[in-house]
Structure 1
Amino acid sequence: MTQRTERADAQRNREAVLAAADTLFAASSSPHSVSMDDIAAAAGVGKGTLFRRFGDRAGLIAAVIASRIEPLQQAVRQSQDAAGSSPRQQVLDLLDAALLFKIKNRNLMAAAEDAGLSSPYQAEHYGRWHDTLRGVLDLLPGVRDADFTAHALLAAIRADLVTHLIDDRKMPPEQLRASLAAHVENVLGPNPPPGDGHTVA
């Protein structure tokens, strides 16, 4: 019973820490300045608990990102499994969903870069996005290198670029989404005409 209670307490502490960190990064005008002390105080735990569970600030931020992005990735997988949309539309929807995540969580992503998580290519969620996007691109006629094209399209929604366009250049989010959709269409090229021998889902 004691062991079970300790596990339940640890889980509650973890959820409290992730929620507190998420709130602080979202609300701060300078996410780089949010400290482990700030997060521990907001979560009602000792700072030692944070270091024992997450290792360091970078590990904590990575855990917050994972907790935010997992529901989105599940929704994307369910949408793809539901069928009905063409591979081309799935590419557009996938990148739009990823862009919306970057827009809504740009403070958190900026904090990740500041904490030494500046290379997205090492992150587990980047690998998932890339693999999913590459799989859909493989279904599109005319895409010669789906692996590279997936990397190139994801580069268009890097967190630092999104932050620059939204916060520095004051681009409205809807304009950014429309510009991304137009860019994707340019990369993919025109739709093949009906009856050209390609099968379009």
Structure 2
Amino acid sequence: MSASLPPFPKAEQPVDQPELLQLGVAEEEPCLRADAARNRARLLEAAARLVAEHGAAGVTMEAVAAAASVGKGTVFRRFGDRTGLLMALLDHSEKKFQGALLSGPAPLGPGAPPVERLRAFGRAALRRSADELDLQLAAENSPERRFSNAPRRFLRGHVTLLLRQALPDADCELLAQVLLGYLDPAAIHYLTRQCGMPVERLEAGWDDLVARVTRTESPC
């Protein structure tokens, strides 16, 4: 690809060492009081039970308040709205995933060739989405923020960094955006739930896509 294409705006450009970003708690106070922390954990535990029993559609502010035996206002004060609550539920998983990318064992973490890490990233992202699909879809941001939220920026920066290492002459920012489209939760929902494709087929497709993009032999 031509290196003369205009770059993304600076605010969107990934850094060489992506910062560990969080989903829904960036504006949380640094240290919650002990009672506030317990209340937050209690609300999230109640929300997680509702997801397990009824799916993400069963998670409403009213239902969480009733399950936790608190007033609805308490839930709104803690999480703002339903999206904030769902984002908080995903936060723990997101931090674990980001930590594995930054400092976990290879090939998902550092220490493996970039193409091998890219394959491992996609497979791990597919498995994670398959496990949390309803929750991820329910927590998805509004269309204007879909591609600019903190977790998406982090993942795009990670993929761009690996592509730069493997394909230094390519327009890696645009390639990263295309590759992440394959891992979009809505696409995974369509392929697995409506088309009946097993996750293993999507993993094999990811490996083939990475092989073609990076011009290496497919591992299949």
Return the TM-score normalized by structure 2: 0.74
Residue of structure 2 equivalent to 1:3: none
Gaps of 5+ in 2: 1-31
Answer yes or no: is 1:70 the counterpart of 2:88.
no
**CA 1:53–1:79: 2 relative to 1, 3 Å:** same
Whether contact under 8 Å (1:134, 1:146) holds in the other structure is yes
Aligned pairs for 1:51-200 (under 5 A) are 51-79=76-104, 83-113=110-140, 116-118=141-143, 119-141=145-167, 144-190=170-216
Residue of structure 2 equivalent to 1:17: 43
User: Structure 1, residues 96-118: CA drift from partner, whole Å, max 9, x if none?
Assistant: 222222111101012124xx545
The alignment partner of 2:139 has SS state of helix
**CA 1:67–1:83: 2 relative to 1, 3 Å:** closer
Q: Which of 43, 50, 59 pairs up with 1:34?
A: 59
Whether contact under 8 Å (1:92, 1:184) holds in the other structure is yes
- 1:32: how far off? 3.1
- 1:56: how far off? 0.8
- 1:20: how far off? 2.6
User: Structure 1, residues 75-126: CA drift from partner, whole Å, max 9, x if none?
Assistant: 121137864310111111112222222111101012124xx54553132111
Following the alignment from structure 1 to structure 2, what is the Cα–Cα distance between the partners of residues 85 and 39?
A: 43
What amino acid is the match of 2:150? E
Larger radius of gyration: 1
Identity across the alignment (%): 31
**CA 1:149–1:46: 2 relative to 1, 3 Å:** same
What amino acid is the match of 1:152? V
Q: How many residues align?
A: 183
Following the alignment from structure 1 to structure 2, what is the Cα–Cα distance between the partners of residues 61 and 87?
A: 33
Residue of structure 2 equivalent to 1:194: none
Following the alignment from structure 1 to structure 2, what is the Cα–Cα distance between the partners of residues 157 and 83?
A: 21
User: Structure 1, residues 1-42: CA drift from partner, whole Å, max 9, x if none?
Assistant: xxxxx811111111222233233234435x334311112222
Following the alignment from structure 1 to structure 2, what is the Cα–Cα distance between the partners of residues 18 and 117?
A: 22
Whichever structure has more helix as a proportion of its residues is 1
Whether contact under 8 Å (1:66, 1:125) holds in the other structure is no
The alignment partner of 1:18 has SS state of helix
What amino acid is the match of 1:94? F
* Higher relative contact order, structure no. (Cα contacts within 8 Å, ≥ 6 residues apart): 2
**CA 1:117–1:44: 2 relative to 1, 3 Å:** farther
Following the alignment from structure 1 to structure 2, what is the Cα–Cα distance between the partners of residues 168 and 69?
A: 26
Following the alignment from structure 1 to structure 2, what is the Cα–Cα distance between the partners of residues 128 and 122?
A: 10
Return the TM-score normalized by structure 1: 0.81
